[in-house]
Amino acid sequence: MVRATVRLNAGGATGPAPPRVRVLLIGSAHPWRMERALQRALRRAGHRALLIDDRRLKRRLGRRLTQEVTRRTARWFRPDFVLLSKCHALDVETVSAVIRGRPNAMWYHDAGWFAEPERPDVKAVIEVGRLADVFFVTGYEEEWRRHGLRAEFLPAAADRHIVPVPPRPEYASEIAFTGTGYDATRAEFLVDLSRHFRVRVWGTRWEPWRDRLDWSGRPVEGEEFAAVCSSSAITLGILPAAMRTATNAASDRTWMTILAGGFYLGPGVPGVAQLLRDGEHCAWYGDFDECVAKAERYLRDPAGRERVRAAGERFVRQHHTYDARIGPLLAREPFVNPLAD
């Protein structure tokens, strides 16, 4: 085992292969989540990666024992680098002990909650984030810096193992939307869009709109998520109300949808529109009327839609997987946009 400066592991460098390091991740072990996907990417790159699911430990052992088990595991594993997620089941003192003297970073995906710092879950994230060398966030980095965080932009990503699957009639639609029904404005957008196209919705918590939407009644994950994307002419993105002021914030579902074979039509806020090119990798819309117009255009042009979809998949697979994020994470350096001039 080579125990060298982690900065040497930044991806994309020429010359000798970087040393392998031990990376401790703290976050969700769900196979669909960022932390598990990133663990797989680190292992593919030759690193040793151990994931502690702090919330699962808390459910099994209680909060007090979770602190002790986490500290003992970190001492046993002797990580060269610690990557933190939300750490909701850990005390600030525990996180401080785990990262003390070790290069570390935090990567937070719920960027839009910067405006509610008094919410208990957001307050806890800020407290932990202030301990980290770098607080990577998927948008609103300037706003998070006002909370005393060393915030840097790092877009979300997707697992490279997500691939298109053959279309299936039971998942077919003109427009598909996958996500949770927690935002009324997003629901009304879908209701209005359903007056123009066959729209199908997949996810939980859509009960208030079940009579006005073609709702599956359940979420889709893994191969079934890919089947929805591959079987629908268009897979839609909609910003919730909390993200309406977003500039560069994009959900991980953007990247997942494109890797899963979806033609992605999403809200073209300025920063995100610089990560993917309209008409080349996906399609962007500004308001509801433009969303309808773009959908009509691409539904009439299946060949053009497939050209854009395929180019988008190639581009995302090269630049926006978790494998591509290892470099900036371990180096604790800002993201470099591959489309930057």
Task: Look at domain 169-319 and name its CATH class.
Answer: alpha beta
CA torsion sign, 156 to 161 to 167 to 168? negative
Angstrom CA distances, 315 to 257, 286, 318, 334, stand at 13, 23, 5, 20
Instruction: For the domain made up of 6-155+322-331, give the CATH fold.
Output: Rossmann fold (3.40.50)
The two tokens of residue 115 are 């405006």
pTM: 0.89
Sorting pLDDT into bands at 50, 70 and 90, what band is 334?
Answer: confident
Distance CA 138, CA 155 (A): 5
Q: Kindly report, as residue ranges, where domains of CATH 3.40.50.2000 are found in the chain.
A: 6-155+322-331, 169-319
- What value does the mean pLDDT take over residues 171-193? 96
Phi then psi for 246, rounded to 5 degrees? -65, 150
Whether the CB-CB separation of 327 and 9 falls below 8 Å is answered with yes
The answer on pLDDT for 263 being more than 50 is yes
Whether the CB-CB separation of 155 and 335 falls below 8 Å is answered with yes
Using DSSP's 3-state secondary structure scheme, residue 41 falls into helix
What is 53-79 written as a DSSP string?
-HHHHHHHH-HHHHHHHHHHHHHHH--
Minimum mean pLDDT range among 78-92, 109-123, 225-239, 293-307: 109-123
